[in-house]
Amino acid sequence: MNVAESPGKIRSALLPLLIVGATAAIIFILMATRPELEAVKAPERVWNVDVVEVRRGTIQPKLNLFGEVVAGRRSELRPAVAGVMVEIGENFHDGGIVRKGELLVQIDPFDYETDLAEQRSMLKESQVKLEMLRRDLARAKELFAAKNVSEQFLDGAELDVLQQEAIVEQREIGVRRAARDLADARLVAPFDGVVNAVNAALGKQFSGFGADMVGELIDTSRVEVRFSLSNDQYGRLLETGKAIIGLPVAVTWNVGGRALSFAAVVGRVGAEIASTTGGVDVYAGIDTDGKQSMLRPGAFVAVELPDQAYTDAMQAPDTALYGEDTVFVIKDERLAPRSIAVIGYAGNDIIFRNAGDEPILDGDLIVTTQIREGGPGARVAVR
């Protein structure tokens, strides 16, 4: 190797090192002179919530049910005697209001009037004959006492009187039967009510004996509402130890865009469990003050009656419940969990008592907004 070529080779070997060193120096200078970034602390999230203030006390929710209006008394109207219809009562038509004793249907009374007259005539004849036989018996007793007739003659006279007395009794029964048939030819209203399902026309022939129904009469002054209680509801009412019969019931009939309210009282409980609902039917009599009500059987109504009363209890919307036994109260603007025991329901509300070491106090604000991302200690603001 020539001495002249040696410096060039040395420079070629040192050039990459110089580049690397210069690059490292530049990077060092940039790193040393870069601005330092300060960490920015994110603000704590605040949840807007709805709350309800709770206080302990006795809570008695209402059972909101639906029922049907039924007739407390109705009667099928059937002529008890045969004949042709010759008169129809003025109010005897569907929806007509009739009073007790008012004429509904008149069956042709001619045959029954003549039969009654005939029975009375036969009775009078038998009574006259009986009087004659009694006189004969009195003479027979006198003659027997004077020993002018035999004992057999006296016995015959007594037997004739007894037989005639039986005939008189039969005639009296015939008169009463004929009088009843004549009265039954006039079908009258058995009580005040509203007429329904009329099947009557002048000249129509009826076979009698109650075979033909000419209509029915509904007593709208004695209407009831029938509703069903589930096994749970019925059991809760029984747990109170108080009689179900006599409980007040509020009835609402929504008709024509109006809500008509009626007061009722439980009058009786069904004898069997209803197979369709698994509960028991309850009947509440509606107070009509003895007057014909505007309510009609078949109307569907809303029913409200008092449920079981819970003492030392609190109430809140069911949206306050987390899991099965936790609610949150607000302490120092943060969520604080509280353990509870749910003991009942009132519509969409839960009824509960304290169940943890840290009790809910009167006046505490319970959060009713569900915050799935939040939890104990989360900061909140009341809306």
pLDDT tens-digit profile of 23-50?
877 877 777 777 665 656 667 888 899 9
Residues 273-290 have pLDDT tens digits of: 766 667 889 999 998 877
Averaged pLDDT score across all residues of the chain: 88
pLDDT at residue 218 above 70?
yes
pLDDT at residue 175 above 90?
yes
pLDDT at residue 326 above 60?
yes
- Stretch 103-114: mean pLDDT: 95
Pairing, β 365-367 against β 380-382: unpaired
Query: Is the pTM for the entire model greater than 0.75?
Result: no
Split at pLDDT 50, 70, 90, the class of 163 is very high
pLDDT at 149: 85
pLDDT at residue 97 above 70?
yes
Residues 288-302 have pLDDT tens digits of: 877 778 888 889 999
Contact 303, 66 (CB under 8 A): yes
Residues 238-271 have pLDDT tens digits of: 877 777 889 999 999 998 888 989 999 999 888 7
Strand order in the sheet with 326-331: 51-53, 365-367, 326-331, 334-346, 349-354, 310-317, 57-59
pLDDT at 42: 67
For 174-225, the three-class secondary structure string (H helix, E strand, C coil) is HHHHHHHHHHHCEEECCCCEEEECCCCCCCCEECCCCCCCCEEEECCCCEEE
Q: Which of 8-12, 109-113, 191-195, 365-369 has the lowest mean pLDDT?
A: 8-12
pLDDT at residue 159 above 70?
yes
pLDDT at residue 2 above 80?
no
Task: Please count the CA atoms within 13 angstroms of the CA of 291 that sit on its side-chain side.
Answer: 4
pLDDT at 243: 79
pLDDT at 16: 73
Pairwise CA distance, residues 255 & 261, whole Å: 11
pLDDT at residue 102 above 60?
yes
Split at pLDDT 50, 70, 90, the class of 207 is confident
pLDDT at 270: 83
Q: Which of 75-89, 159-173, 204-218 has the lowest mean pLDDT?
A: 204-218
- Stretch 338-346: mean pLDDT: 92
pLDDT at residue 4 above 60?
no
Specify the 3-state DSSP secondary structure of 22: helix
Sign of the CA dihedral with 126 first, then 130, 136, and 137 last: positive
pLDDT at 41: 67
pLDDT at 226: 92
- Considering just the CA atoms, what is the radius of gyration of the chain in Å? 49
Percent of the chain at pLDDT exceeding 90? 56
Q: How many CB atoms lie under 10 A from the CB of residue 56?
A: 16
pLDDT at residue 20 above 90?
no
Which residue in this structure is represented by tokens 């004992």?
151
Split at pLDDT 50, 70, 90, the class of 22 is confident
pLDDT at 287: 85
Enumerate domains of the chain plus CATH numbers: 51-60+310-382 (2.40.420.20), 63-72+219-306 (2.40.30.170), 76-215 (1.10.287.470)
pLDDT at 90: 92
